């Protein structure tokens, strides 16, 4: 049961705020680790809206989705960090602006 004194919109606002933080961080930060964390922030912002809706509508589907997202995020973290290490080994930098060879 959702406590009645915290309305759904609060959760959504917080979720949106977290997501926006993630987007902004992704766009303005140059360090690849920070960008990676911004992605996690976006994912968790979305997760929050999922559970909020699940609680609001008394439906389990939202919660199940959150688990999926977490699993995928964990896998993605593993792969992503591996890529970051590989990039660092070859390019000796974590600045994404200098990792720009894949283009026409």
Select from 83, 93, 77, 90 the least CA-distant residue to 41. 77
User: Nearest distance from residue 43's CB to other proteins, in Å?
Assistant: 15
Quickly count: other Cβ atoms within 10 Å of residue 78's Cβ. 10
User: Nearest distance from residue 18's CB to other proteins, in Å?
Assistant: 15
CB 84 within 8 A of CB 31: no
Binding site for other proteins (CB under 8 A): 23, 26-27, 30, 35, 96-97, 99-104
Q: How far apart are CA 59 and CA 57, in angstroms?
A: 5
20 versus 72: smaller Cβ distance to other proteins = 20
User: Nearest distance from residue 1's CB to other proteins, in Å?
Assistant: 30
């Amino acid at each position: 049961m959702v406590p009645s004194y915290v309305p759904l919109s609060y959760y959504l606002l917080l979720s949106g705020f977290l997501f926006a933080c993630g987007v902004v961080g992704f766009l303005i930060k140059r360090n690849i680790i920070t960008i990676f964390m911004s992605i996690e922030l976006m994912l968790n912002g979305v997760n929050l809206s999922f559970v909020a809706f699940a609680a609001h509508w008394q439906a389990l589907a939202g919660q199940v989705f959150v688990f999926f997202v977490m699993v995928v995020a964990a896998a993605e973290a593993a792969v992503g960090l591996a890529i970051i290490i590989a990039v660092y080994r070859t390019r000796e930098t974590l600045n994404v602006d200098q990792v720009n060879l894949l283009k026409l």
